[in-house]
Amino acid sequence: MKTKNLNVVNNKLQLGKYPLESLASKYGTPLYVYDQLGIESKMDIFEDAFRSSKFKTCLVYASKAFLAPYFCNILNNRSWYQDATSIGDIYVMLESGFDASRIVYHGNNKKDSELEFAVKCGVGRIVVDNINELNRLIKICQKLNQKVDTLFRVNPGIEAHTHYYIQTSLLSSKFGESIFDLDLIKKIVEVYKHNEYVSLKGFHSHIGSQISDEKSFVENAKVMCEFTSNVSSLCNYPLTELNLGGGFGIKYLENDPDVNLKHMLSSIIETVEASGLSLEKLYIEPGRSVVGDSGLTLYTASYVKKTYGGKNYLFVDGGMTDNIRPALYNAAYTVENASNVSGEKDLKVDVVGRCCESGDIVAKDTYINDVKENDCIVVYSTGAYCHSMSSNYNSMLKPAVIFVDDDIHVVSRREELSDLMKLYEK
């Protein structure tokens, strides 16, 4: 799980020319650290493998994984798209100078004020979740006298073998309308056909997250191509775009399955090309797979507490406020002592934080070598969803975020105590 530019020098972990210990010392811990060369290398794979001579391919970064103006600029410069799931996402992107025409706006329960904001800003595509939202969007467009291009989210009913909380295409999912409810689908297309303000460019689907088996993606591509072709023919309505969502997995533990991203992407392209579907644009929405395994979290070790019940706890100065995923759905991580890489990893511990919760666990039943007070502890593959889902629970301060290539870029400063009072009224 080491990032592309991470190596061992003098028994200590170093990112490029910067020892992790020195980064922790200068910027404080907890600290989110991104290997920028690793991220851009992953982006290269997507750009090289997800391309076709038959239609335009659009790489849409799923910003819920990690969003910051600095990274928006990287995406903008490489002509990537971004998806947004709230008015806040759109605002950050626009304030960063991101091209509004390359924003894809998602959400299963968008407010009218959010839809109006998106329409006024000229976002490239609004992904409509249901017929109720479609009718509300039409009224907004009529009021503003402004036309919008949309995709409509459908639920293909494909089961992705991942955690239940991050499966998104089960027939009981809150997202989209089922492809098996053809009467409703025909009704939706009729609404589009008889309204000049909204244009249906195609359908959107997303089957889940952290998927390592390409069979699920290939099956989704087959189903969605067939569904698009059938609806277009049945309703006599041209559909020129298809969005297959994201969900590409990464490795968190040594025994996690390898993810052959290049082959996975090529298989999706081959499947869509072989379907015979006439498309102008094919979208996918990678997020975790772009930034996840190029991100690290650094902590400072306090000590190992050995309990009467036989459990060993390694106390660190972070926890569930900077990484809620282990508490939320038992996410597992690889941990290493960045201050002392060599030696047998024969000490079994739960790495835990400082919050007043028994579930405040960074890594459970993990093995690590000898740890001394103030050692720098690194947790791998924390680049996705950790910063995005961080909180001020227990009035903890949010960590800084840095990107590292040849230089160090402070992407988000560490919160200070005064920041905690910004929203309160005395």
Distance between CA atoms of residues 13 and 296, nearest Å: 12
Q: Catalytic: 355?
A: no
Q: Could you tell me which residues come within 8 angstroms of residue 366 by beta carbon, excluding any fewer than 6 positions away?
A: 333, 334, 335, 348, 349, 350, 351
pLDDT of residue 82: 98
Distance between CA atoms of residues 76 and 69, nearest Å: 10
The tens-digit pLDDT sequence of the chain (426 residues) is: 799 999 999 999 999 999 999 999 999 999 999 999 999 999 999 999 999 999 999 999 999 999 999 999 999 999 999 999 999 999 999 999 999 999 999 999 999 999 999 999 999 999 999 999 999 999 999 999 999 999 999 999 887 654 444 344 456 678 899 999 999 999 999 999 999 999 999 999 999 999 998 999 999 999 999 999 999 999 999 999 999 999 999 999 999 988 999 999 999 999 999 999 999 999 999 999 999 999 999 999 999 999 999 999 999 999 999 999 999 989 999 999 999 999 888 899 999 999 999 999 999 999 999 899 999 999 999 999 999 999 999 999 999 999 999 999 999 999 999 999 999 998
pLDDT of residue 354: 95
225, 235, 356, 376: which is the annotated catalytic residue? 356
Distance between CA atoms of residues 204 and 215, nearest Å: 19
Token duo for residue 155: 């639920």
Residue with tokens 């402070």: 410
pLDDT of residue 167: 43
Which H/E stretch holds residue 281?
Answer: strand 281-284
Which H/E stretch holds residue 225?
Answer: helix 214-235
3-state SS, residue 171? coil
Pick the closest to residue 16 from 408, 279, 347, 416 (CA basis). Answer: 408
Q: Quote the pTM value.
A: 0.95
pLDDT of residue 366: 95
Query: 105 - beta bridge partners?
Result: 84, 126
Examine residue 69 and say whether the peptide bond preceding it is cis (omega within 30 degrees of 0): no
Q: What are phi and psi of 141, to 5 degrees?
A: -65, -35
Domains of the chain: 6-35+292-421 (2.40.37.10), 37-289 (3.20.20.10)
**Cβ–Cβ < 8 Å for 272, 229:** no
Query: 284 - beta bridge partners?
Result: 59
pLDDT of residue 46: 98
Residue with tokens 């890594």: 363
Residue with tokens 């969502």: 245
Q: Round the CA-based radius of gyration of the chain to a whole number and report it.
A: 23
pLDDT of residue 164: 43
pLDDT of residue 171: 65
pLDDT of residue 160: 63
Q: Determine the Cα angle at 256 with ends 254 and 258, to 5°.
A: 100
Q: Could you tell me which residues come within 8 angstroms of residue 267 by beta carbon, excluding any fewer than 6 positions away?
A: 214, 217, 218
Total number of residues shown for the chain? 426
